[in-house]
Structure 1
Amino acid sequence: MGILGFWHETNTFSTSPTTIEQFREFELSAGSALAEKNAHVGSVIGGFLDATHFDLVPIFSAGAWPSGPIEEDTMGELLDRARQELIRAGGLDGILLNLHGAMVAKQFKDAELSALGLVREILGEIPVSGVLDLHANPAPELIAGIDTLVSYDTYPHIDMRERGVEAAQLLTTVLGGTPLRSQIRKVPLLVAPIAQGTDLDPMRLLQARANRRAKDAGLHRVCVIGGFAYSDVTRAGMSVMAVHDEAHAQAASEVLDATVADIENHAHDFEVVRDSPSVAVDRALEAEAHPVVLVDVADNVGGGSPGDGTALLSELLRGGASGAVVPIIDRDVAELAQELGEGAVIETSVGGKTDRRHGTPVPIQGHVVRITDGRYRTAGPWMTGREFSMGTTAVIEVGGVTLLVMSERTPAFHSEQFTSQGIDPTRASIIVVKGALAWRAAFGRLAGEVIEVAGPGITPVDVNALPRQTTPMTF
């Protein structure tokens, strides 16, 4: 049984393309190296590897942090490497496929469909069982080409390993002689990620009702997929998928139609309005319950934003904040701090350098507290046990604000992002997170108050504010 992966959440509004180097930094592995990287890790491929009833053949996996469209030559190189590894693997009984579902590459109509086409070209019509992110924008052609397909059930995504195990179990069913199929319906509803939390309404209730329908109808699985609104493709929007045997095709269709109607009836529940940076910071400074988590939604690194937005930093400095912690991506400042050394005075401008859509550079004068290589291993629920790197990382004190300046874009998925640098988030008065909801798995329990902010950026609270060129389709 082969294991193959193509994982990237592509923000098509980003001006920073995704290159082969970004895949090398996150995951570009084959064979035994792929197995070693994911063994005992809470990833989808970690879940595949837990399926010990298979004779598993790790083939190839490419993954990168969310960012702009993948360069054409990069996507070509990934497919070429996957082709070589698939040929090397030889005859296989089936494939376990880890996809994101919102992958976009320049000059490719559908990057993930191209990956599936490669499997079919080399291995023929063998059974394929796959996993998608809850923020997938799957096309009907992709669903039609895969025997069984499930998505994460949770956002924050804390069930990746479980979905990998489930996909393997479904493949076992197929190989045991019970043909399974997947169906999809698409709802052209673009939803901000902060409205997609699966332990909150409306997603919580929509999923619960869909699961009851699926159980009553005798289906193997139903998935309510929130979609990724920061992608300018016709397949963007919410989706509903079902996995069923041949005898339950009509029942699955009815469950999907009922769930689509349910989503449409509750579309208004997904509408969100949040405070501006100035209002949000004033609220945080007056709050009594600490730490206050200020969520910089529009500069969500986990959604493809650059992570160097300065709107909240500017307001915190203006307001004379004390005990605030602000992460920001700025390779130049991190390297300058490294050159100056710990204890040195540093005077420079930070952030706002990728573009001007996330704020302008902010002048700072402070002192360098700590310099590290930015590496940490997480014990948290997102890819538990895996090692990550923020690149050269500097902790800089600027008045009452502690800046965590990273060289490499790293989402706010882990508390170790702070604790590995000597920052105790429980002692902070204010914590800025550049995210939407995924940060809650790491910091949600310690938050005294949460304030989501409608600032500037390419992952805005108002998804309809983006300069979209395409219209989401219904199918």
Structure 2
Amino acid sequence: MSFKVAVLEFNQETNTFSKLKTGFKDFEMCHYFRGAAIEDNCRGTNSEIGGFIDCCDRYGWEPVYTVAARAEPGGRVDEATRLRFVADVTAALDGQRLDGVFIVFHGAMCTETADDAQIQLLETVRGIVGPDLPVAATFDLHANSAPEMAALLDIAVSFRTYPHVDMAECARKAGALLEAAMRKEITPAIAIRQPPMINGCNDGRTTHACAMTELLEIADAIAGEDGILATSINAGFYDADIHNTGPSAVICYDRARVSDADAIAHAERLCDEIWQRREHQDQQLPLNALPGAIAEHFAAKRKAGPLVIADFSDNPGCGAYSDSTCLLTGLLQAGVTNATFGAMCDPAVVTDLIEAGLGAEREVTLGCKIDPAVGGGPIRVRGMVQAISDGRIIFEGPMFQGLPASLGPSVRFHVSGIDILISSERQQLLDQNLFRAVGIEPARYDIVVVKSQQHFRAAFGPIASEIIEVDADGLSTANIGARSYSRVRRPVYPLDREAEIVTAAASADVLA
């Protein structure tokens, strides 16, 4: 039997502390595909939609392509954009007789009208397809998973890697469960629990042995039990000031073989394991220690390749502005040479330098235009325009491989030994092709600076002689105390040191 399955993606990670709103243009800069354009652009890519298409091929599904929309992390999604997305999805589903629905979420999206955009959209979808149609969804492991979502969703599967190199694989796993549900081989349901924590699981890192890898091993053991269909550990996203910010455990189970109470018990056990590791977090280097670390690096005998420095606190992948000058100022003061830095997002400077033309020397006021109070303030620098680009690339690294991306109009600006990639749009520097958009070949430099926290490791780890993460004065700092939370549930760790795991029961009821 061939099943008809609708697919939709509404995917953005919301930093509620950002002054920026996320609008339709921001989705267009990443992707906003409708109908057949979804398959045309996503087939063969390492993306959730790419994995869904693989399922269509494997199981013979008839796909109903609605909308695939993804935006760079930023502020809340504006209401006009949400309504446009809903209207486009509703039109695509009109008159369709479906057997299932497949949804691609991030899991930490907020809109102007809802702190939980996932529940908001699921309620809309259920209003269209009814309460009984199987609905599967994939999630980023930084999802803030609200327990109430369990009442609206049958299948939930999260990424298991950070950097997220398993997007398509995650979708294929969710698709296999959806196929079994449509065949009536399973009766899937989910249970969700949260410990009283804002952050944890070592932020989900999986590139080395740590809290997250330990938690995944424990979750895998549970997944091996009869009737447990999938287990997910979400590290949460602490740049969102909402009630359910923080880590979660999600159990997908077959109600024909596992009771709701047993599923809840498994989720509670995982929450206890998360809680026991609440202080197990990697630490970043403070900015004032960077000059010494650079000197030590070059004094030591290390393997060939650049020193890769991550501007942790100005990561646009967390919704930061990508225009902090703190780290750049530190490098200029240290007198580094043969270095590259990217991407500094400053559309006004890009326009000025493009008008000046190739080879032009200019003095510009760079950075911190969105919020001068965050990131060190604008700085005056003088340099030469060495390249101009439209900023369009195709991801080649493990993450998003094959998907298009854009920095917007961009330039390479050489300042005192540093080639700076200046872009018109915010884009986490997670792929070497982003540098190559302006003719920068990262492997040829002694120092490569990327505005990223962890995703850069997938593409830049193989060429790096050493990696240093620096936490400067940016919006996505690891310092929880730098944020003014007002909407998170309380008590919650680490804001309230008296928080206890037993408090989770009151704030994380399971509806399945």
TM-score, normalisation: structure 2 = 0.89
Deviation at 1:81, TM superposition (A): 2.2
| Letter of the 2:236 counterpart | G
Match of 1:266 in 2: 277
Q: Which amino acid aligns with 1:431?
A: V
Q: Residue 135 in 1 paired to residue 142 in 2? A: yes
Corresponding position of 2:249: 240
Between 1:70-79 and 1:149-158, the stretch displaced more is 70-79
Counterpart Cα distance in 2 of 1:464 and 1:218: 42
Query: What SS class does the counterpart of residue 280 from structure 2 fall into?
Result: helix
Correspondence for 2:435: 418
Q: 1:193 to 1:458 in 2, by over 3 A?
A: farther
Q: What amino acid is the match of 2:410?
A: T
Answer yes or no: is the 8 Å Cα contact 2:204–2:234 preserved in 1. Answer: no
Hey, what does 1:100 align to over in structure 2?
Answer: 106
Q: Can you list the C-alpha shifts for 1:227-263, whole angstroms capped at 9, x where unaligned?
A: 1010000111000111111121343223222211111
Q: What is the CA–CA distance in structure 1 between the aligned matches of 2:291 and 2:122, rounded to whole Å? A: 47
Confirm or deny: 8 A CA contact 2:200 2:274 kept in the other structure: no
Task: Write the mapping of 1:36-115 to structure 2, written as runs, cut at 5 A.
Answer: 36-51=40-55, 52=57, 53=59, 54-87=61-94, 90-115=96-121
Whether 1:35 and 2:39 are equivalent positions in the alignment is yes
**1:276 matches 2:260:** no
Counterpart of 1:294 in structure 2 is 309
Number of residues paired by the alignment? 473
Aligned partner letter, 1:8: Q
Name stretches of at least 5 consecutive residues in structure 2 with no aligned partner.
491-503
> Per the alignment, in what secondary structure is the counterpart of residue 387 of structure 2?
strand
User: Matches of residues 327-406 of structure 1 in structure 2 within 5 Å?
Assistant: 327=342, 328-356=344-372, 357-406=374-423
Q: 1:193 to 1:338 in 2, by over 3 A?
A: farther
Long gaps (5+) in structure 1: none
The whole-number CA distance in structure 2 between the counterparts of 1:248 and 1:387 is: 42
Pairwise CA distance, 1:193: 8.8
Question: Which shows bigger deviation, 71-80 or 158-167?
Answer: 71-80
Q: Kindly report which structure 2 residues correspond to 1:311-326, keeping only aligned pairs within 5 A, or say none.
A: 311-326=326-341
Equivalent residue letter for 2:326: A
Residue aligning to 1:225: 234
**Superposed CA RMSD:** 1.6
Q: Is the 8 A contact 2:200 2:280 kept in 1?
A: no
SS in 2 for 1:267: coil
Residue 494 (structure 2) aligns with: none
Percent identity over the alignment is: 31
Letter in 2 for 1:245: D
Residue aligned with 2:94, SS: helix
Give, in whole Å, the separation in 1 of the partners of 2:314 and 2:42: 29
- Quote the Cα distance in structure 2 between the aligned partners of 1:180 and 1:114: 21
Q: In the alignment, which residue of structure 2 is the partner of 1:453?
A: 470
Q: Could you tell me how far apart the structure 1 residues matched to 2:471 and 2:339 are?
A: 19
> For residues 409-439 of structure 1, what are the alpha-carbon distances to aligned partners after superposition, in whole Å with 9 as ceiling and x for unaligned?
1111211111332212112122111111111
Hey, what's the Cα distance between the residues in 2 that align with 1:282 and 1:391? 35
CA distance in 1, matches of 2:434, 2:481: 32
- Please say if residues 41 and 385 of structure 1, whose CA atoms lie closer than 8 Å, have aligned partners that are also in contact: yes
Task: Please give the secondary structure, in 2, of the residue aligned with 1:314.
Answer: helix
What CA distance in whole angstroms lies between the structure 2 residues aligned with 1:470 and 1:419? 42
Greater mean alpha carbon deviation, residues 414-423 or residues 366-375: 414-423
| Range with greater deviation from structure 2 (287-296 or 136-145) | 287-296
Read off the aligned partner of 1:352 and give its amino acid letter. Answer: C
CA distance in 1, matches of 2:241, 2:294: 34
Residue matched to 2:215: 206
SS state of the match for residue 408, structure 2? Answer: coil
Structure 1 residue 167 displacement after superposition: 1.2
For residue 194 of structure 1, report the CA deviation from its aligned partner.
6.5
Q: Deviations over 1:253-288 (max 9, x none)?
A: 232222111111111113x44332232234224422
Paired residue secondary structure (1:268): coil
Secondary structure, in 3 states, of the residue corresponding to 1:80? Answer: helix
Q: Conserved in 2, the CA contact under 8 Å of 1:217 and 1:251?
A: no
Q: Which amino acid aligns with 2:211?
A: P
What's the offset of the Cα at 1:19?
1.0
Counterpart of 1:318 in structure 2: which amino acid? Q
For residues 278-312 of structure 1, the C-alpha deviation after alignment (integer angstroms, 9 at most, x for no partner) is 32234224422452222111101111011011001
Q: Determine helix, strand or coil for the equivalent of 1:102.
A: coil
Structure 2 residue identity aligned to 1:20? F
Note the C-alpha offset of 1:471: 2.5
Query: 2:196 corresponds to which residue?
Result: 188
CA–CA distance in 2 between the matches of 1:65 and 1:57? 25
- Whether the 8 Å CA contact 1:217–1:255 is kept in 2: the answer is no
Provide the residue aligned with 2:6 in structure 1. Answer: 2
68-77 or 428-437: which moved more? 68-77
Give how far 1:183 is off.
Answer: 0.8
> Are the structure 2 counterparts of residues 129 and 304 from structure 1 closer, same or farther at C-alpha, using a change threshold of 3 Å?
same
Note if contact 2:429-2:452 (Cα within 8 Å) is conserved in structure 1.
Answer: yes
Conserved in 2, the CA contact under 8 Å of 1:129 and 1:147? Answer: yes
Deviation string, structure 1 residues 12-47 (Cα, Å, up to 9, x no partner): 000011111111222222211122121111110111
Aligned to 1:12: 16
| CA contact 2:201–2:247 (8 Å) conserved in 1 | no
| TM-score normalised by L of structure 1 | 0.96
SS of 2:380's equivalent in the other structure is strand
CA distance 1:286–1:322, shift in 2 (3 Å):
farther
CA separation in 2, counterparts of 1:375 and 1:27? 12
Alignment-derived partner of residue 444 in structure 2? 427
